[in-house]
Amino acid sequence: MRVFRHTSASEDARGAVVAAGNFDGVHRGHQAVLGEAKALAKSLGAPFAVLTFEPHPRVVFQPGLPPFRLTPFRAKSLVLETLGVDLLFTLHFDLAFAQKTAEEFVAEVLVAGLSARAVVVGYDFVFGNKRRGTPELLTAEGAKHGFAVKIVAPVSAAGGVVYSSTQIREHLVAGRPREAAALLGRPWEIDGRVDVGDKIGRTIGFPTANIDLADYLRPAPGVYAVRAGIEDGGKTVWHDGAANLGWRPTVGGKDLRFETHLFDFSGDLYGKHLRVAFIERLRPEQRFAGLDALKVQIAADCQKAREILALG
């Protein structure tokens, strides 16, 4: 997959079928839009492209909000690549960009910039100044400029609930990673470079890899059964493990930390990229009388995580 931070792409990247949207989470509803774009691109013999925006527009318009991203750019791009995307156009979004009218966005980005052959969007896609651009306006602009437009209807989960990033966030904040995974089509992950922590875990026999949460959504604090993928030489090697998200009250912690213990692993992880997939929440975070009591509980947590992960 080729990644562009602008629309001044090389000639062979023009004329693509473009799926447009924020695609935070790349959940099953998003995957329906992407699947339609991929199929159309194949039928037309055109590249399959995704057009998205960074930072997320909500960050620009409401900068004081707590972190909410399900898939920051790197995580999103990893998922998109697995879905067969050929070209990823990620445009910088700021207040100046937000001033473009819907018609200007079409003319400057989709036509002059990308020379889009077709554009595929979800039923709720909006764009342009004051969100005036709708799928219907996009269809009219496509007819004017000579590109096709396909609007994908909402896709529902069991029970008739439409797949949405909002619903996935609610599940994660409530400590329900399995329900979130059902909507995503895969376990939700936090991805980042391993930082140096306080190294308390190794003193009690449970060394951990620490990852900065950055602008990821904060799920419910507590202990989780996880699968941790170490990126190495273009491959990702997965290990079972247990992770703690919390303030570490037993050792007087003051800041929120995300720490993962990989089972049966003894290598050096500092500086490596780690992908941690949330499988099941084991318990809330709690304070223990001391390190000995904490060690006993961690051992029990790890055993329970092993049992859960062994079930698949």
184 closest CA partner among 22, 30, 67? 30
pLDDT of 10: 73
Sole residue written with tokens 């029970």? 159
Residue 249 corresponds to which tokens in the numbers above? Answer: 């009250």
Q: Alpha helix (H) ranges present in 71-134?
A: 73-82, 95-98, 102-105
CA 39 to chain centre: 23
pLDDT of 252: 77
pLDDT of 6: 85
Query: How far apart are alpha carbons 26 and 222 in whole angstroms?
Result: 25
Asked if 239 contacts 275 with a C-beta cutoff of 8 angstroms, the reply is no
pLDDT of 185: 96
Query: How far apart are alpha carbons 282 and 245 in whole angstroms?
Result: 12
Domain made up of 188-310: CATH architecture: Beta Barrel (2.40)
Give the domain ranges of the chain.
2-152, 188-310
Residue type, 213: L
2-152 belongs to CATH 3.40.50.620: yes
Residue 283 DSSP SS3: strand
pLDDT of 199: 65
Exposure string for 261-273, b = 16+ CB within 10 A, e = fewer = bbeeeeeebeeeb
262 closest CA partner among 293, 241, 279, 276? 241
Query: How far apart are alpha carbons 108 and 127 in whole angstroms?
Result: 13
pLDDT of 232: 85
Render each residue's pLDDT in the chain as its tens digit; 312 residues. Answer: 999 998 876 788 999 999 999 999 999 999 999 999 999 999 999 999 999 999 999 999 999 999 999 999 999 999 999 999 999 999 999 999 999 999 999 999 999 999 999 999 999 999 999 999 999 999 999 999 999 999 999 998 877 888 999 999 999 999 999 999 999 999 999 999 999 876 677 777 799 999 999 999 999 999 999 999 999 888 999 999 999 999 988 887 889 999 999 999 988 899 999 999 999 999 999 999 889 999 999 999 999 999 999 997
Residue 122 corresponds to which tokens in the numbers above? Answer: 């979800």
Query: How far apart are alpha carbons 212 and 200 in whole angstroms?
Result: 17
Please count the other Cβ atoms lying within 10 Å of the Cβ belonging to residue 110. 23
